[in-house]
Amino acid sequence: MTGVSVSLRINGAAVTAHVAPDLTLADFLRGDQGLKGTHIGCEEGVCGSCTVLADGETLRSCLTLAAQMDGADIATVEGFDDPAGDRLRKAFAENFAAQCGFCTAGMMAVAREFLADATVADHRNEAAIRSRLNAVVCRCTGYQAIVAAVRAAVPE
């Protein structure tokens, strides 16, 4: 059988799979794993809608092969169910930070990485938030509501 065996963690669960060498991580997550919260837009690394976390760092899943993920710890929006994820979800809802929602999973992945980044001096700093959110394109919100949501998700 052609293909590659991978063992990884997805949203805290151990997963072993046999994948085609050219299968992208985005298609693996959405198709094989049924995790449709990760969206695919441009498929060329520009829009950021496919962004997930791999070992805590953001990753364009459309540009990454599933076969490269052996040993990785992947978190998708479906797995953002810890206190930090709850805070972020509540902040997005209260600040109307999602309209069509296409970019939201990617935005939340970027926001989680940002909020967990101990090298950031001030997580409420608007310029710092905007600089990080540049990684994901939103065609609906004008970004202000998303910036407000990230600020609101900073723990007291």
| Site of interaction with ligand FES (CB under 6 A) | 40-43, 45-50, 60, 62, 98-103, 138-141
Q: Which of 119, 36, 27, 117 is nearest to 69 (CA)?
A: 27
Q: Nearer to ligand FES by C-beta: 43 or 73?
A: 43
DSSP label at residue 83? H
- Sole residue written with tokens 């809802």: 93
CA–CA distance, 111 with 69 (Å, rounded to integer): 22
- Nearest distance from residue 27's CB to ligand FES, in Å? 11
- Nearest distance from residue 65's CB to ligand FES, in Å? 13
Number of neighbouring beta carbons within 10 Å of residue 112: 22
Q: Nearer to ligand FES by C-beta: 14 or 29?
A: 29
CA–CA distance, 17 with 101 (Å, rounded to integer): 29
- Nearest distance from residue 95's CB to ligand FES, in Å? 12
Q: Nearer to ligand FES by C-beta: 49 or 119?
A: 49
